[in-house]
């Protein structure tokens, strides 16, 4: 079954063709990073306009690269949300138009859940069957979410950030340190040359029972540390600051993951996805702490892409085989800007006291 995936939730326009949920025939991404870099963050209006310009040529060249035509496609999966409303509207409208014109089924996909399926791309059927149930982390510029995934479409949110997302914090601290946007990859680069033990860092949300992430305190700590420096920062100090800050940013995640592993012993693997999962130090830290297999997306599928949308769309199509169409003309579904946070509560009385 061939799925066309379309993604336009933030600052990347993406189109992909994926066979049976895990074999990528083509995946094209048009990144707007350079357009937003002068502003130090994504400007929603610019993002929406850039998507408009990019989407049609990207669609044409993805089909060409995959060597398929629209009549070969079985269904169209599109990011429904969460994301920037103006940006989402471009992808959703394009997908609806395509579905209307071709009569293909249209499948709305949750962007955050789809990141998890990005971590399964390329796995064999046996590897995939052995991966579930899993704990899945989505660590990106907009989200730091931990899920228990019992089956491909069953996501139980067990922890999320109460303030900044991890990637958002990396980007903001990168900006404070004078690094280019987005800060995450630059912090990784500087940290690799730094000593994490030189500059002390606070440990955030340490209580075991506290199943949530928090990054605003770490960001404030870095701002206060910077304000105390009397001389302009030399490269060694920047490297040491990045190494210490990055380690604590990731340690926090690994600590919560360890608690979750103890609570859900049925878990057979860990999946880490989202832009921050590209970080090699984070990968190594995660791999070294857990005895179950850890799956990370190929670098091309860490950041926003449409292969993950098509991958998740395939699972939805399979689940709704007899009824897998969403009427493109129906008015009862549309883009939605907010993720409905419904945390699965599993805290016991004893946990609360620990």
Q: How near is the Cβ of 281 to ligand KG4 at its closest, in Å?
A: 8
- CA torsion through residues 11, 311, 137, 285, sign: negative
| Rounded Cα gap, residues 207 and 353, in angstroms | 10
Cis? peptide before 264, omega within 30° of 0: no
Select 171 or 304, whichever has its Cβ closest to Zn ion: 304
Q: How near is the Cβ of 118 to ligand KG4 at its closest, in Å?
A: 9
Show contacts with Zn ion in window 125-154 (CB under 5 A).
140
CA-closest candidate to residue 270, choices 249, 248, 247, 288 = 288
Interface with ligand KG4, residue 119, by CB under 6 A: no
Neighbours of 340 (CB within 10 A): 8
Picked from Zn ion, ligand KG4, none, the partner binding residue 167 (CB below 5 to 8 A depending on kind) is ligand KG4
The correct pick among 213, 297, 304, 311 for binding Zn ion (CB under 5 A) is 304
What are 141's two structure tokens?
A: 């510029």
CA-closest candidate to residue 286, choices 267, 258, 264 = 258
Interface with ligand KG4, residue 10, by CB under 6 A: yes
| Rounded Cα gap, residues 45 and 131, in angstroms | 40
Q: How near is the Cβ of 29 to Zn ion at its closest, in Å?
A: 12
Are the C-beta atoms of 48 and 88 separated by less than 8 Å? no
Interface with ligand KG4, residue 297, by CB under 6 A: no
Q: How near is the Cβ of 320 to ligand KG4 at its closest, in Å?
A: 26
| Rounded Cα gap, residues 184 and 173, in angstroms | 9
Q: What is the DSSP letter of 72?
A: G
283's CB contacts (< 8 A; 6+ apart) are 272, 277, 294, 296
Interface with ligand KG4, residue 167, by CB under 6 A: yes
Picked from ligand KG4, Zn ion, none, the partner binding residue 182 (CB below 5 to 8 A depending on kind) is ligand KG4
DSSP string for 125-169: HHHHHHH-SEEEEEESSS-EEEEEEEETTEEEEEEEBSSS-HHHH
From the list 90-98, 138-146, 208-216, 323-331, the region that binds ligand KG4 by CB under 6 A is 138-146
Interface with ligand KG4, residue 118, by CB under 6 A: no
Interface with ligand KG4, residue 141, by CB under 6 A: yes
Interface with ligand KG4, residue 133, by CB under 6 A: no
Picked from Zn ion, ligand KG4, none, the partner binding residue 276 (CB below 5 to 8 A depending on kind) is ligand KG4
Select 140 or 239, whichever has its Cβ closest to Zn ion: 140
Interface with ligand KG4, residue 252, by CB under 6 A: no
The correct pick among 131, 244, 276, 307 for binding ligand KG4 (CB under 6 A) is 276
Interface with ligand KG4, residue 239, by CB under 6 A: no
Interface with ligand KG4, residue 303, by CB under 6 A: yes
From the list 219-227, 231-239, 271-279, 283-291, the region that binds ligand KG4 by CB under 6 A is 271-279
Q: How near is the Cβ of 280 to ligand KG4 at its closest, in Å?
A: 7
From the list 14-22, 57-65, 91-99, 166-174, the region that binds ligand KG4 by CB under 6 A is 166-174
- Residue 39, classified by CB atoms within 10 Å of its CB into exposed (0-12), middle (13-18) or buried (19+), is exposed
- The pair phi, psi for residue 10, each rounded to 5°, is -140, -110
Q: What are 15's strand-pairing partners?
A: 6, 28
Residue 219: strand, helix, or coil: helix
What are 242's two structure tokens?
A: 């990045």
Interface with ligand KG4, residue 304, by CB under 6 A: yes
Query: Residues for the chain: how many in total?
Result: 354
Interface with ligand KG4, residue 182, by CB under 6 A: yes
Which positions touch Zn ion (CB under 5 A)? 140, 304
Which positions touch ligand KG4 (CB under 6 A)? 10, 140-142, 167, 170-171, 182-185, 188, 274-276, 278-279, 303-304
């Amino acid at each position: 079954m061939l799925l066309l995936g379309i993604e336009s939730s933030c600052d990347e326009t993406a189109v992909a063709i994926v066979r049976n949920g895990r074999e990528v025939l083509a995946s094209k991404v048009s990144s707007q990073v350079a357009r937003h870099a002068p502003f130090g963050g994504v400007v929603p209006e610019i993002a929406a306009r850039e998507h408009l310009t990019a989407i049609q040529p990207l669609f044409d060249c993805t089909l060409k690269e995959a060597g398929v035509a629209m009549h070969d496609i079985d269904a169209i999966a599109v990011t429904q949300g969460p994301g920037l409303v103006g940006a989402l509207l471009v992808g959703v409208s394009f997908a609806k138009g395509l579905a209307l014109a071709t009569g293909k089924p249209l499948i709305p996909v949750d962007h955050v859940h789809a990141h998890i399926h990005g971590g399964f791309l390329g796995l064999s059927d046996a590897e995939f069957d052995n991966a579930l149930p899993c704990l899945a982390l989505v660590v990106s510029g907009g989200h730091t979410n931990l899920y228990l995934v019992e089956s491909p479409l069953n996501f139980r949110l067990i922890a999320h950030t109460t303030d900044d997302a991890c990637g958002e914090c990396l980007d903001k601290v990168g900006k404070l340190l004078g690094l280019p946007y987005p800060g995450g990859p630059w912090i990784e680069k500087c940290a690799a040359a730094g000593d994490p033990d030189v500059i002390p860092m606070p440990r955030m949300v340490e209580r075991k029972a506290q199943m949530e992430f928090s990054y605003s305190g770490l960001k404030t700590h870095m701002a206060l540390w910077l304000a105390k420096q009397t001389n302009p920062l030399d490269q060694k100090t920047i490297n040491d600051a990045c190494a210490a800050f990055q380690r604590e940013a990731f340690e926090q995640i690994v600590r919560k993951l360890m608690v979750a592993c103890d609570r859900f012993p049925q878990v057979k693997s860990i999946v880490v996805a989202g832009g921050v999962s590209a970080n090699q130090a984070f990968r190594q830290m995660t791999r070294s702490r857990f005895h179950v297999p850890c799956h990370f997306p190929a670098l091309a599928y860490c950041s926003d892409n449409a292969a993950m949308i098509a991958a998740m769309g395939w699972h939805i199509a399979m689940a709704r085989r007899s009824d897998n169409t969403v009427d493109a003309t129906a008015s009862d579904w549309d883009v939605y800007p907010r993720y409905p946070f419904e945390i699965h509560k599993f805290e016991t009385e004893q946990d609360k006291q620990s």
